[in-house]
């Protein structure tokens, strides 16, 4: 007999499963690997990463960021975009393919660093659907240091907040 969990229970389960999966990657994960939760504080406590961009740091989009990547290399920026976290890594997507789970299309920027469990719990996920490709996703504003990179653009995450789709 199959039993469907209510939304709060699914969110708690999703956060736990994603946190365990991310922790299993360990510190030796590659730069493009799934973000790991920060080591400080209990998972339910608010995180400094779950914040809005600082005053004066207006969010850009992926296309504008990539168009200006040489000028932005090494600088702290904010990007408003669709975040997709998969076993292969996390990235911000310029286009979203409307499959289930969603997929990235077009340009993307790799996300390096830890997404706090308090934020992960607010994102959509297939964690309670083991027969599907495992992914976590949502619309966010991310702040961090941008790297143009020869292997592709990346941002070192230092702040994240959930936003409504545009």
Instruction: Specify the number of domains making up the chain.
Output: 1
> What distances in angstroms separate CA 57 from CA 38, 77, 143, 144, 159, one per listed residue?
23, 7, 9, 11, 12
Q: Please give the model's pTM, rounded to 2 decimal places.
A: 0.68
61: in domain: yes
2: in domain: no
1: in domain: no
User: Cα separation of 140 and 46, whole Å?
Assistant: 17
- Domain holding 22, by residue range, is 7-162
Convert the pLDDT of each residue in 75-134 to its tens digit: 999 999 999 999 999 999 999 999 999 999 999 999 999 899 999 999 999 999 999 999
- Sequence-ordered alpha helix ranges (H) in the chain: 7-25, 62-67, 69-72, 117-120
């Amino acid at each position: 007999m199959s039993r469907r969990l209510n939304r709060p229970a699914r969110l708690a389960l999703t956060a736990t499963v994603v946190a365990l999966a991310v922790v299993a990657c360990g510190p030796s994960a590659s730069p493009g690997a799934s973000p790991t939760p920060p080591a400080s504080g209990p998972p339910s406590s608010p995180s400094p990463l779950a914040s809005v961009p600082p005053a004066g740091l207006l969010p850009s989009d992926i296309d504008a960021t990539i168009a200006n990547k040489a000028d932005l290399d090494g600088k702290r920026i904010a990007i408003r975009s669709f975040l997709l976290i998969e076993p292969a890594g996390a990235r911000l997507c310029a286009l979203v393919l409307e499959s289930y789970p969603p997929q990235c299309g077009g340009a993307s920027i790799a996300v390096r660093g830890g997404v706090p469990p308090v934020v992960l719990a607010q994102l959509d996920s297939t964690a309670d659907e083991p027969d599907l490709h495992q992914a976590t996703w949502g619309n966010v504003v991310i702040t961090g240091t941008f790297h143009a990179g020869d292997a592709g653009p990346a941002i070192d995450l230092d702040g994240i907040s959930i936003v409504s789709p545009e």
